[in-house]
Amino acid sequence: MTDQPADINAKFTPRVFSGIQPSGNLTLGNYLGALKRFAEKQDQGIETIYCLVDLHAVTVWQEPEALKRQTREAAAAFIASGIDPDRSILFNQSQVSAHAELGWLLNCVARVGWMNRMTQFKDKAGKNAEKVSLGLYAYPALMAADILTYHATMVPVGEDQKQHVELTRDIAAKFNHDYGVEFFPSPAPLIEGAATRVMSLRDGSKKMSKSDPSDASRINLTDDADTIAKKFRKAVTDPAPLPEAIEGLEGRPEARNLVNIYAALAGMTPDAVIGEYGGQGWGVFKPALADLAVAKLAPISTEMGRLMADPAEIDRILGKGAAKADAIAQPILEQTLDIMGMIRSR
């Protein structure tokens, strides 16, 4: 795909957009790879829009009542992690119809060959590719619509979403090229920090995921202090102590993962963590990591519990956020329809 002019984003207000699926327990991976960084962007004074992508969640089966509960719980996790609904726009995707509408239009821009290269689809569909929903296949084009209907220029995500943001750039470039416009920006994935890919605590080659059948593989944001400590104590590692220098983590994915988690939670570099703990055994490092994780996560889960006690208030916050989001998204959708030659006469 030919790329956009290098300075295309200079035409657009800097704006951050990101989303998380409300499809179950949020994990430490979501917190370090996404939520914590979402709050940092907001605190830098950039315009920030954060979305609970319920339309994405239903690409696989969701019990209706559970989906509602998980959406509220995810909203509570955002707020408890420092996202302030007065300074960021926080809402659930299905309340802003521009996402689905632009999603359709971009389905007609994206090429099947591009979709076939999406590794997340291949991983999720596995041998079942004939049986999964059509939505699961089209999902990256909806994600492009999420981003582009706000003309967002920056997308903070974990490593696993990089390919989808790159697809978004290809879709934007093709749209601009085909219609001879400079209408959509070229959003940049922001993949920063020590924990862009937090790995499973049971298997250092697998991503920590809310859908892993083993609960011991992840730290849930709702886990209590004892559970967090136990999971870190039992985390699978090799027997060697921590290396004296960062290069010594080469070929030791489990050790690297725990060092990265410590670094991200403490706001340190992995190098500095090795500076402090190099040469120490797991009997020292694991309890230190557990204490740090409890200190950082306990206030979040307490605040989530407080917010979840008043679901009506969460719904009000999401409704207000959706109205603000709609005010940005709808005009961009209208302009897109106009560029494509659809009559707007209502």
- Count CA atoms closer than 13 A to 302's CA, side-chain side: 7
Run of H or E including 189: strand 188-190
Point out the catalytic residue in the list 68, 124, 206, 230: 124
Q: Binding ligand AMP by CB under 6 A: which of 30, 88, 260, 301? A: 30
Q: How far is the CB of 46 from ligand AMP (least distance, A)?
A: 17
SS3 content of the chain, % helix, strand, coil (to 5): 55, 10, 35
State in angstroms the smallest separation of the CB of 201 from ligand AMP. Answer: 11
> How near is the Cβ of 164 to ligand TRP at its closest, in Å?
6
Q: Is 210 a catalytic residue?
A: yes
Select 75 or 155, whichever has its Cβ closest to ligand TRP: 155
Question: 3-class SS at 246?
Answer: helix
Choose among ligand TRP, ligand AMP, none what residue 143 binds, the Cβ cut-off being 5 to 8 Å by kind.
Answer: ligand TRP
Q: Which of ligand AMP, ligand TRP, none interacts with 33 (beta carbon under 5 to 8 A by kind)? A: ligand AMP
Q: Which amino acid is at 289?
A: L
Q: What is the CA radius of gyration of the chain?
A: 21
In the list ligand TRP, ligand AMP, none, the entry touching 218 (Cβ below 5 to 8 angstroms by class) is none
Closer of 156 and 204 to ligand TRP (Cβ): 156
Is 234 part of the annotated catalytic residue set?
no
Among ligand TRP, ligand AMP, none, residue 155 binds (CB under 5-8 Å by kind): ligand TRP
Closest residue to ligand AMP, based on beta-carbon distance: 33
Query: Rounded to 5 degrees, what are φ and ψ at 47?
Result: -70, 125
Q: Which positions from 191 through 220 interact with ligand AMP, judged by CB under 6 A?
A: 195-198, 207-208, 210
Q: For residue 314, what are the contacts with CB-CB under 8 A and spacing of at least 6?
A: 72, 75, 76, 307, 308
What end-to-end distance do the CA atoms of the chain give, in Å?
36
Catalytic residue among 207, 231, 286, 296: 207
Angstrom distance (rounded) from CA 82 to CA 35: 8
Report the residue closest to ligand TRP, judged by CB: 19
Buried b (16+ CB within 10 A) or exposed e, 89-115: bbbbbbbbebbebbbebbeebbeeebb
Residue owning tokens 């005009």: 331
Q: Which is nearer to ligand AMP, 161 or 301 (CB)?
A: 161
**Position 307: which residue type?**
L
Residue 156 CB, nearest approach to ligand TRP (Å)? 8
Which residues would be at the binding site for ligand TRP (CB under 6 A)?
A: 17-21, 53, 56, 143, 146-147, 155, 157, 161, 164
Cβ at position 23, least distance to ligand TRP in Å? 9
- Of the two residues 144 and 208, which places its CB atom closer to ligand AMP in the complex? 208
Query: Which strand ranges, in their side-by-side order, compose the sheet holding 154-156?
Result: 89-92, 47-52, 15-20, 154-156, 188-190
Rounded Cα–Cα distance for residues 325 and 34 (Å): 20
Judge whether 320 counts as a catalytic residue.
Answer: no
If one asks whether residue 29 binds ligand AMP (CB under 6 A), the answer comes out as yes
Whole-number minimum distance, CB 293 to ligand TRP, in Å?
A: 22
- Residue 191 CB neighbours (<10 A): 18
What does DSSP assign to residue 181?
A: -
**Non-local CB neighbours of 44 within 8 Å, separated by 6+ positions:** none
At 133, is the secondary structure helix, strand, or coil?
coil
| Of positions 80, 90, 110, 157, contacts ligand AMP by CB under 6 A | 157
**Site residues (vs ligand AMP, CB under 6 A):** 20-21, 29-30, 33-34, 157-158, 160-161, 195-198, 207-208, 210
Residues labelled as active-site residues: 124, 207, 210
